[in-house]
Amino acid sequence: MKYSKLLLSSILAGLVFIPLLSAQGKGISESLAKEAQQLSEAALEENIAYEVVESLTTEVGARLAGSEAEKRARSWAVAKLKELGFENVHEEPFEVPLWERGIERAEIVSPFPQQLTVTALGGSVATPEEGVVGELIRFSSVKELEAQPQGSLKGKIVFIDEIMTRTQDGSGYGEAVGKRRQTAYEAYKKGAAGALIRSVGTSSHRFAHTGQMKTITEITEEIDSVPTAALSAPDADQLTRALERTDSIQIRLQLTPKFEPASISGNVIGEIVGTESPEEVIIIGGHLDSWDLGTGAIDDGAGIGITVAAARLIKDHYPNGLKRTIRIVMWGSEEVGLVGAKAYADAHADELDNFIVAAESDFGAGKIWKFNSFFAEEKLNYLSEIADVLRPLGIAKGDNKASSGPDVGALKAKGVPIVSLQQNGWDYFDLHHTPNDTLDKIDPDELAQNVAAYAAFVYLAAQIEDDFRAEDSDIN
Ligand SMILES: [Zn+2]
């Protein structure tokens, strides 16, 4: 009380230069907010996002990084963006190593002979043609494996039985993914002949979840690893029960993946060019590649569909474009280690100052429930003001710690403001990287809610007479 009285009298006396009022963005006008909400309402009546995902998953299907299928996906993307009226549609190719799975088989040899459901981890080395046989040694975490003496597991098959926690925001994945990245290398140090991990996933179905070990670029440099596969959750439970009944279980593991050091991947770009400041760009998109087991519907056909549909809806309503440019980026080779994201950030390094904001949709097809930003402190009023516009869609205001989609991380690291329109990921890791990642898992209404949120957000970012950076910001 005392303080504010003092402040008020100081302001009146001209002693304080009202920093409180100047330290925020100009704000969103009522008319802009209204237009954005109208776009949202229109999006809820449309089906374009679903049609785009259906087209991609049907006409291309799975599209592994660096593969012939990913090349077909790029051709599909170029044709689709042109068909939908985007401008400056083109591919930006880059090199990537190609890893392709072969035979993948595991079985209990003794004392309870039976097949197990496994899939090789991306980047795994091969076993000998006939496979390897070794005694199964279980660890409850990869940390426990790390703690073993070097060379102490000669000829054994390591089994990491670490369970992933189901959460709405996907935070359980961040914790669980360590075993997928580290096991093959740790097992090698201990002298093991092969390794199995409980899938990084939350479902109890009998599918194993694949996923990359270290990034494909790191793998090219570090080959000291053992053949490693993921087990479905019920198979991991089965092994644990079997181990409770006997002292020694013999496992045969056979993996025959192939590795080519150089193949071609690429990003695909399309724009709706701005009318007043075409050089200022709003970036939205998803990743075009997928794992090879399903058809990449939720990961990340959905992200492609959502962002393309949002931009397309804006074009329908504003055929001449908005003030700023809206750019769709479909990143290639995300799954194997964000290779496209790095290529994109490098290729556009001299343009970064003009990137107003970037957002990637890559967390499935569930409803958006929270809006998070990564804006300059003095522009935080936009976190609240955009959240106000999104609220009718059931979206809450988040915080300023947006973690971003994986591919915009490289832009965020260079100072580009980002947002995350955070989806409900409760079921995401039931399907993630499995054969079950298919179109039927997408609810068209939930997908349309995503489009509604993206359309409103993109519209505002493209129209406000301000940006999300600090006034004196000067990024390189
Ligand atoms: Zn993804």
Query: Please, what's the b/e burial string for 113-128 (b: 16 or more CB within 10 A of its CB; e: otherwise)?
Result: eeebbbbbbbbbbbbe
Model pLDDT for residues 238-288, shown as the tens digit of each residue: 999 999 999 899 999 999 999 999 999 999 999 999 999 999 999 999 999
CA of 363 to the centre of ligand 1 (A): 7
The whole-number pLDDT of residue 35 equals 98
What is the model's pLDDT at position 91?
98
Quote the percentage of the chain above a pLDDT of 70.
94
pLDDT of the residue at 473: 61
Does the annotation mark 334 as catalytic?
Answer: yes
Find, among 470, 462, 272, the residue nearest to 380 by Cα: 470
Average pLDDT over residues 196-217: 94
Question: How many whole angstroms from 236 Cα to the centroid of ligand 1?
Answer: 25
Ligand 1 (ion): residues with CB under 5 Å are 299-300, 362
CA–centroid distance, 313 to ligand 1, in Å, is 24
pLDDT single digits (tens) 15-68: 444 444 557 899 999 999 999 999 999 999 999 999 999 999 999 999 999 999
**φ, ψ of residue 101 in degrees (nearest 5):** -75, 155
Average pLDDT value for residue range 177-204: 96
Catalytic residue among 104, 334, 360, 385: 334
Per CATH, which fold does 23-97+262-463 belong to? Aminopeptidase (3.40.630)
pLDDT tens digits for range 319-362: 999 999 999 999 999 999 999 999 999 999 999 999 999 999 99
**Of the candidates 221, 216, 152, 224, which has an alpha carbon nearest to the alpha carbon of residue 183?**
224
53: left (phi over 0), alpha (psi -120 to 50) or beta: alpha
- Among 203-207, 321-325, 471-475, the minimum mean pLDDT is found in 471-475
Task: Give residue 219's pLDDT.
Answer: 80
pTM above 0.85, yes or no: yes
Q: Where are the alpha helices (DSSP H) in 84-200?
A: 142-146, 171-189
Q: Encode 198-221: b = buried (16+ Cβ within 10 Å), e = exposed.
A: bbbbbbebebbbbbbbbbbeebbe
Mean pLDDT score of the chain, rounded to an integer?
94
Burial class (CB in 10 A: 0-12, 13-18, 19+), 345: buried
Q: What is the mean pLDDT of residues 135-151?
A: 97
* Amino acid identity for residue 318 in this structure: Y
Per-residue pLDDT, 220 = 75
Q: Are 407 and 344 in contact (CB under 8 A)?
A: yes
**What gap in Å lies between CA 398 and CA 144, rounded to an integer?**
36
As given in the structure block, the two tokens for residue 31 are 């008319």
What does the block give as tokens for 394?
Answer: 């059931």
Query: Has residue 294 got a pLDDT over 70?
Result: yes
What is the domain partition of the chain in residue ranges?
23-97+262-463, 102-256
The C-alpha atoms of residue 428 and residue 437 are separated, in whole angstroms, by 9
Q: Read off the pLDDT of residues 237-248 as tens digits, 9 standing for 90 and up.
A: 999 999 999 989
Ligand 1 center from residue 362 Cα (angstroms): 5
Parallel, antiparallel, or unpaired: how do β-strands 258-272 and 277-287 relate? unpaired
pLDDT at 2 over 90: no
Q: How far is the CA of 20 from the centre of ligand 1 (A)?
A: 41
Burial profile 397-408: b = 16 or more Cβ within 10 angstroms, e = fewer: bbeeebbbbbbb
Tell me, rounded to whole angstroms, the distance of Cα 42 from its chain centroid: 27
What 3-state class would DSSP assign to 435? coil
User: Residue 1: which pLDDT band, with cuts at 50, 70 and 90?
Assistant: very low
Q: Which amino acid is at 465?
A: E
* 180 secondary structure, DSSP code: H
CA gap 283, 458 in Å, rounded: 9
Longest dimension (CA), the chain: 89
Ligand 1 centroid, distance to 244 Cα (angstroms): 37
The class (CATH top level) of 102-256 is alpha beta
